[in-house]
C-alpha cells in the first residue's frame, strides 16, 4: 500500500511512518515545508502526483493556548487544511486517517467518553479540531477519525521529557491534579492505527492506552520510575495554573468501537511508560519499582496537555 504521512517529523507521525514501513508499505513523508495543507491546489497537485492508497493526517496547529489568540490560524490549519486533504483524498479514491483529540469533549463528565457521546469543546483548539472532524465526514467517504490524548513518544517534546528536565532544574514542582486522562504511547498508537486500516471498518475511533491518571499522579509515576526520589511535588488546581485556554477536567476516552470490532485493548499506560523510559535509557528493565515522592512548597508551575505537545 502507498501511504502519504502529512505532518511528518512529529511525534506520532514519525512512529506511524516507521510502523507502516516495517509492515512493507511504501511511505512518503510530507512535512509542512513539503506540503502546506491549507492550500487546496497544492494538496491537489501533490496527492495526484503521489497517488496514495492511504493519507495519514497528523498535521495540526496544536498550541492550545496560542489557539485562543490566533483562532484564524487554528481554523485554517485544523479545519480547512483537513478539509483540503479530505476533498482530494476522496477524489483520488484514497482512504484518510485523521487524528483528532479528547478536547472535542467538554470534560464535565465522570465516566469515559464513547465515540458517539455528545461533543462540547470548550477551547478554540477543541472547536477547530471538531470542525476538522466534520469536514472529514462531509468530504471523504473512506475515512478513519482517531481521537487520542496525552501523547508521549520518542520523537519530539512531550510531558515525560519535560517533567524529567524540570526535575533536574528545580527541587519543587507544582503540577495540576484536577485534570484526568489517559497517557498514550505513540508507538502503541501507531501499531493500532496500522491494524485499523487493514480492515475497511471506516468511522470514528477512540484509541488510548489503558488506565487513567491526573497530571500530578502521572508525574509521581514518572519520577518514581526514573528514581528521582528527591523531587517534591505539590498538587495544584487548573485555576491556580491560570492558562488562557480551557482544559477538559475529565477526558478519559473509552475505546468502545475498537473493542466492539474485535481488537485487543491497548496495554495499560504504565506498561507503555516503562517501555518508553527504557528506550530513552532512563531506567533499566529490572527497575520498575520506587519509593514514594514527598510534597513541598512549589516554585514552578507546569502542566502539559495532549494538544500542547
**Residues taking part in catalysis:** 125
Instruction: List Cβ neighbours of 118 (8 Å cut-off, separation of 6 or more).
Output: none
DSSP element (H, E) containing 309: none
Q: Sign of dihedral through CA atoms 171, 175, 181, 187? A: negative
> Per-residue b/e over 1-34, b at no fewer than 16 CB within 10 Å?
eebbbbbbbbbbbbbbbebbeeeebebebbebee
The per-residue DSSP string of 52-90 comes to -SEEEE------HHHHHH-HHHHHIIIIIIHHHHHHHHH
- Nearest-angstrom CA–CA distance, 60 and 235: 31
Phi, psi of 268 (to 5 degrees): -60, 145
Cα angle 293, 219, 180; round to 5: 125
What cell was used for 293? Answer: 515522592
Amino acid at each position: 500500500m502507498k501511504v502519504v504521512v502529512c505532518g511528518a517529523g512529529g511525534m506520532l507521525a514519525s512512529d506511524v511512518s516507521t510502523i507502516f514501513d516495517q509492515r512493507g508499505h511504501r511511505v512518503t513523508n510530507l512535512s509542512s515545508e513539503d506540503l502546506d495543507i491549507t492550500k487546496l491546489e497544492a494538496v491537489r497537485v501533490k496527492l495526484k502526483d503521489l497517488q496514495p492508497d492511504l493519507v495519514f493526517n497528523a498535521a495540526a496547529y496544536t498550541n492550545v493556548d496560542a489557539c485562543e489568540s490566533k483562532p484564524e490560524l487554528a481554523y485554517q490549519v485544523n479545519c480547512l487544511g483537513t478539509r483540503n486533504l479530505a476533498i482530494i483524498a476522496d477524489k483520488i479514491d484514497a482512504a484518510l486517517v485523521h487524528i483528532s483529540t479528547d478536547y472535542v469533549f467538554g470534560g464535565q463528565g465522570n465516566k469515559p467518553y464513547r465515540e458517539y457521546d455528545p461533543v462540547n469543546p470548550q477551547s478554540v483548539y477543541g472547536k477547530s479540531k471538531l470542525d476538522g472532524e466534520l469536514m472529514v465526514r462531509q468530504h471523504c467517504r473512506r475515512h478513519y477519525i482517531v481521537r487520542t490524548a496525552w501523547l508521549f513518544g520518542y520523537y519530539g517534546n512531550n510531558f515525560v521529557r519535560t517533567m524529567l528536565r524540570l526535575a533536574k532544574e528545580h527541587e519543587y514542582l507544582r503540577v495540576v491534579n484536577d485534570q484526568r486522562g489517559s497517557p498514550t504511547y505513540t508507538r502503541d498508537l501507531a501499531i493500532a492505527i496500522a491494524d485499523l486500516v487493514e480492515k475497511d471498518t471506516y468511522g470514528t475511533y477512540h484509541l488510548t492506552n489503558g488506565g487513567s491518571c491526573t497530571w500530578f499522579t502521572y508525574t509521581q509515576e514518572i519520577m518514581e520510575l526514573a528514581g528521582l526520589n528527591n523531587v517534591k511535588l505539590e498538587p495544584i488546581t487548573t485555576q491556580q495554573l491560570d492558562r488562557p485556554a480551557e482544559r477538559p477536567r475529565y477526558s478519559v476516552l473509552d475505546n468502545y468501537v475498537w473493542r466492539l470490532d474485535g481488537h485487543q485493548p491497548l496495554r495499560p499506560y504504565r506498561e507503555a511508560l516503562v517501555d518508553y523510559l527504557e528506550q530513552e535509557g532512563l531506567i533499566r528493565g529490572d527497575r520498575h519499582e520506587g519509593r514514594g515522592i514527598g510534597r513541598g512548597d512549589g516554585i514552578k508551575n507546569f502542566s502539559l496537555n495532549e494538544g500542547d505537545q
